[in-house]
Structure 1
Amino acid sequence: MTSWRTKLLPPLLAIAFAVLLSSVALLISGADPLQAFGTMLRQLGQGTIAVDTVNLATVYYLAGLAVAIGFQMNLFNIGVEGQYRFAAIIAAIVGAAVKLPPVLHTAFIILVAALAGAAYAAIPAILKVTRGVSEVISTIMLNAIAGGLIAFLVNPDQFGVQRGNNVSTAEIPESGQLPGLPLGDLGALFGFFFVAVAIGFAYWFMLSRTRFGFELKASGESSTAAEAGGVNAKKMVLTAMLLSGAVAGMVALPELLGRDHVYGITSTQQYGFTGIAVALLGRNHPAGIALGALLWAFLDKSAVSLEQIQVPKEIATIIQGTIVLSVVVAYEIVKRADLAAEQRRVGRALGGNGPGGKPADVHEGGAV
């Protein structure tokens, strides 16, 4: 049974270490750490920053969930970056081309994005189960290929539309857009926020309430033991990668359907790589991933405020980097401490009496 320490202490230690290291960096540069961190926190109360943070966290959350599904099977799906970008361009092209009633149109675009992401993830999955190709290598290569595909498809000779100095897909009609939730002067919350919450709940339900989720985690722990129990390890690898790709395919949809309505070469990138850090910080748990996504989005959005007090905004990047580096170490430290405590508890429980009611360290011939 995993203790609360194993779940909560590692990310807290990682964040504390990141803040400490960043404070040292600030002091060396001649800045006041309390003033810097206070400025970042106050930024949340200004204008639309708070809602913008939640909107960005929605994107990070989906990326983190996509990575976490692979982690459950011990699969390192670095290809979330390429999968979501490929899915976004396909969804944008198809979404702008078809004509459907409002709700149906939006649902169709979401379905297309999920299927496109799954299809792109199927390539490394098939290579993994049929040829034993490492998913790390194949997904990294496919990330680069996705960039080339987007450049080809967005070209004005294909599906691109020239808008000033920018080239992007045709605009998705209003019937395919997903309106946000207006919050007055605070801004508008992405409508896809609620879809992301539903996906997170579905992920939790799958892992904790279904046989498939049990088999997924069992296969990740030991594929040999899972196969001995009747689980098809190759099928689980394929399924996990397809699910990961399907969720990855929706990473760009909050912005595509709720704000931009077009997709181009200049659209925001690197969400997939951020998802790896968010999944690590959240320990693959949907609630933990949500907190990690909020923290990452907060650091991204509040970093600009540091320039107001002549502090480099790269301090936020230092915090993010140290969190990634320390979270793995913190989990290992706490895990070992937890294991040692469990061994001591079992030792005390078994140390009192040995066979036949005699002390455990005493044999019939006398003391050892």
Structure 2
Amino acid sequence: MTSWRTKVLPPLLAIVFSVLVCSVALVISGADPIRAYGTMIGQLGKGTTAVDTVNLATIYYLSGLSVAIGFQMNLFNIGVEGQYRFAAVVAAIAGGALRLPPVVHTAVIILIALAAGALYAALPAILKVTRGVSEVISTIMLNAIVSGIVAFLINPSQFGVLTGNNLRTQPIPPSGTVPGIPVGGATLFGFVIIVVVIGVGYWFMLGRTRFGFELKASGESATAAAAGGVSAKRMTMIAMLLSGAVAGLIAMPELLGRDHNYAITSTQGYGFTGIAVALLGRNHPGGIALGALLWAFLDKSAVSLEQVNVPKEIATIMQGAIVLSVVVAYEVVRRADLTAMQRRVGRALAGGPASVSEGGAI
């Protein structure tokens, strides 16, 4: 069992450290930290900021889950960016071309996105399993290639249309969209319900299924897992495909809930943000949700800083400081916990009193 320090102290230390770093940055920029923080928090109550924050957090959550699945196997799937963009353009093209009944149309688009994301993750997975090629290198290369694939597919000579100065796919009919949920004067992505189901499924898979146990065991020690009859190569392949499949859904909230087409100018970078969100959430579905909300809040409230003459780029410093704080805090507490445990074991071996409660339970 992990000690209370491992669970409670790291988040507290991370919060304190990140607030201090951000406050120093604000003071250096000539701003009042308290006023800046108050302005950002107050922005949530203005206009559609709160709903916009949840909508963006929905996207970040999917991205964080995709990265976290790889992390469970000690795989660094940095290719989530390429996987979600490839899946988005393929799903948008298919969705615009198909004519199906409502619900069925939407379900088919989602299934196509899942399959396309998994397909784009299959190549690095195969190279990893059969040739030992680092997934970091192969996925980075595929991230670069995807821009060319998107540009080719959206070309008017292929599947795209030119609207003004922007290239985009054919619009998806209403039968293939996901209706939004009115909240005050804003609209919440209806896809948020699907995302909640996915999050619950991720939690159930990790903590309540044999597959989840084998996935985590293989990530902890491939050798020990193999001794228990678990194939590390098989788990690597499955983890990469699952990660890619979830990545394929990242653009779906916007595609099916707002834009209804995928354009050459569609937002990029969600895959890389997912890495930070997964680190913040420590690969736990609840932690990832909080990390996604925090990251989305900083993104959406950053513009309010200009009202108090603070550069909005300060929010980027805050995001970096938070990620760094979480990583450092968990490592510091982990080492302190390990040292305390080693001292207790040493006293026990020496015949001295070994207090199980001292310094936390093992």
The bucket for the TM-score relative to the shorter chain is over 0.9
| Correspondence 1:292-303 to 2 at 5 A | 292-303=291-302
| TM-score calculated relative to the size of structure 1 | 0.93
Counterpart code for 1:256: L
SS at match of 1:245: helix
| Correspondence 1:14-163 to 2 at 5 A | 14-163=14-163
Q: Which residue of 2 aligns with 1:264?
A: 263
**Change beyond 3 A, Cα 1:241–1:16:** same
Q: Which residue of 1 aligns with 2:196?
A: 197
The question of 1:232 aligning with 2:231 is answered yes
Q: Which residue of 2 aligns with 1:206?
A: 205
Q: Which moved more, 1:16-25 or 1:307-316?
A: 16-25
The 8 Å contact of residues 67 and 244 in structure 1, kept in 2 or not, is answered as yes
Q: Which structure has the larger Rg?
A: 1
Q: Deviation at 1:16? A: 2.4
Q: Distance in 2 between matches of 1:18 and 1:274?
A: 18
Q: Distance in 2 between matches of 1:273 and 1:8?
A: 27
SS at match of 1:188: strand
| TM-score calculated relative to the size of structure 2 | 0.95
Deviation by residue 1:125-169 (Cα, 9 ceiling, x = unmatched): 000001110000000000011111001111111111111111100
Deviation by residue 1:55-91 (Cα, 9 ceiling, x = unmatched): 0000000000000000000000000000000000000
Q: Distance in 2 between matches of 1:244 and 1:119?
A: 11
Deviation by residue 1:327-360 (Cα, 9 ceiling, x = unmatched): 221111011112223334445556556xxxxx99
The question of 1:305 aligning with 2:304 is answered yes
Q: Which residue of 1 aligns with 2:359?
A: none
Deviation by residue 1:99-125 (Cα, 9 ceiling, x = unmatched): 111111111111100000000000100
The 8 Å contact of residues 68 and 279 in structure 1, kept in 2 or not, is answered as yes
Q: Which moved more, 1:289-298 or 1:4-13?
A: 4-13
Deviation by residue 1:246-278 (Cα, 9 ceiling, x = unmatched): 000000000000011010110000000000000
Structure 2: runs of 5+ lacking an equivalent: 355-362
Provide the identity percentage. 77
SS at match of 1:161: strand
Deviation by residue 1:208-242 (Cα, 9 ceiling, x = unmatched): 11111101000000101111111111000000000
Q: Distance in 1 between matches of 2:8 and 2:85?
A: 33
Q: CA RMSD in A?
A: 1.5
Q: Which residue of 2 aligns with 1:246?
A: 245
The 8 Å contact of residues 58 and 193 in structure 1, kept in 2 or not, is answered as yes
SS at match of 1:102: coil
Q: Distance in 1 between matches of 2:350 and 2:81?
A: 53
Give the count of matched residue pairs. Answer: 354
Q: Distance in 2 between matches of 1:305 and 1:154?
A: 35
